[in-house]
C-alpha cells in the first residue's frame, strides 16, 4: 500500500514571522496524521520553519532546486544549501515555473536528478493547459512530461519520486477536475511509468493530485484508488484548512 502524502506549496506567500505563526498553529493540528505531511515555504522562510519542525511529523520542502552544486546561477539554490537547513523534499517543474519562467522538461529532469543524488525527494509536477485539455491531448501531454522528467533515472531511485498531477486550468481558478477525471489521468501517468519501468515499480510510486484540493473535496479525491495525496496551494496558507485536508 502506498502511504498518502499531503504537501503544502505556499508559493510566494508568508514572511518569516507569518510562517512562524502558521507552522506553530499547524503542528498540533496534524500531529496524529496518517499520511506524510510536507510544507514548502518560500526560501526566506525555510530556516525559520526548519527550526519549528524539528521533532515533529512534518517534513520541510523547497519550491525548487538547482542541478549544480554551486556556481553563477543567480536566484537559484543548490541541494547542499537545502540539505544544510533540513529540507527533505523539493518541488520541481511546477506549472508556474514552466509557464512563467521557461522551465523545460530537460531542466525538470536535471533538477529531479540533483534532488535524488542529495537524498532529497523530488515532487515532480506534470499537467495540461485548458487548451490542451479541450483539444483532447491531456493523456499525451502528461505521459510525455512524466517520461521526460524521469529520463535516465534508475528503477531503484525512481520509486523514491513523488509525481504531482496538476491540471494547469484548475490551479488558482477555483475549478477542480472531478474525482473520476483526476483518477483517470493519474492512471494514465502511472501507465506511462509502467511502460518504462514495469508494473511493480509503477505501483510503488506515489502520485498526488494538485488541482485545488481543499477541505470540501479532499475526502472524495483521496478515496480514488490512483490518488495518493495532494499538492495543496491556497488551502495550505491557513493552518485549519490545511489540517482538514491532511486529516481528510
Q: Which residues belong to the active site?
A: 94, 166
**126 within 8 A of 163, measured Cβ to Cβ:** yes
Which of 168, 190, 69, 165 is closest to 120 using CA atoms? Answer: 69
Cell of 20: 512562524
Place of cell 546561477: 73
Distances (CA, A) of 208 to 70, 138, 235: 31, 17, 15
Cell of 182: 483526476
Distances (CA, A) of 177 to 116, 187, 188, 226: 30, 14, 15, 14
What's the length of the chain?
A: 248
Angle at alpha carbon of residue 212, lines to 21 and 79, rounded to 5°: 60
Which of 211, 230, 245, 12 is closest to 129 using CA atoms? Answer: 211
CB neighbours (10 Å) of residue 118? 19
**Would you give the distance in Å from CA 88 to the centre of its chain?**
12
Consecutive H or E run containing 91: strand 89-92
Amino acid at each position: 500500500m502506498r502511504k498518502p502524502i499531503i504537501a503544502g506549496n505556499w508559493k510566494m506567500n508568508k514572511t518569516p514571522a507569518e510562517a512562524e505563526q502558521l507552522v506553530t498553529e499547524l503542528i498540533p493540528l496534524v500531529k496524529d496524521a496518517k499520511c506524510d505531511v510536507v510544507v514548502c515555504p518560500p526560501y526566506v522562510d525555510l530556516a525559520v520553519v526548519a527550526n519549528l519542525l524539528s521533532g515533529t511529523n512534518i517534513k520541510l520542502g523547497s519550491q525548487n532546486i538547482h542541478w549544480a552544486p554551486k556556481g553563477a546561477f543567480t536566484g537559484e539554490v543548490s541541494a547542499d544549501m537545502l540539505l544544510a537547513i533540513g529540507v527533505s523534499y523539493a518541488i520541481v517543474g511546477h506549472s508556474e515555473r514552466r509557464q512563467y519562467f521557461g522551465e523545460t522538461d530537460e531542466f525538470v529532469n536535471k533538477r529531479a536528478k540533483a534532488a535524488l543524488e542529495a537524498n532529497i525527494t523530488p515532487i515532480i509536477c506534470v499537467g495540461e493547459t485548458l487548451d490542451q485539455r479541450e483539444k483532447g491531448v491531456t493523456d499525451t501531454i502528461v505521459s510525455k512530461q512524466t517520461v521526460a522528467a524521469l529520463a535516465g533515472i534508475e528503477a531503484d531511485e525512481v520509486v523514491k519520486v513523488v509525481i504531482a498531477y496538476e491540471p494547469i486550468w484548475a490551479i488558482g481558478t477555483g475549478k477542480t477536475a472531478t474525482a473520476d477525471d483526476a483518477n483517470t489521468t493519474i492512471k494514465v501517468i502511472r501507465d506511462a511509468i509502467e511502460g518504462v519501468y514495469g508494473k511493480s515499480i509503477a505501483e510503488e510510486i506515489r502520485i498526488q493530485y494538485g488541482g485545488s484540493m481543499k477541505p470540501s473535496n479532499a475526502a472524495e479525491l483521496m478515496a480514488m484508488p490512483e490518488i495518493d495525496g495532494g499538492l495543496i496551494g491556497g488551502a495550505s496558507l491557513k493552518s485549519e484548512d490545511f489540517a482538514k485536508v491532511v486529516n481528510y
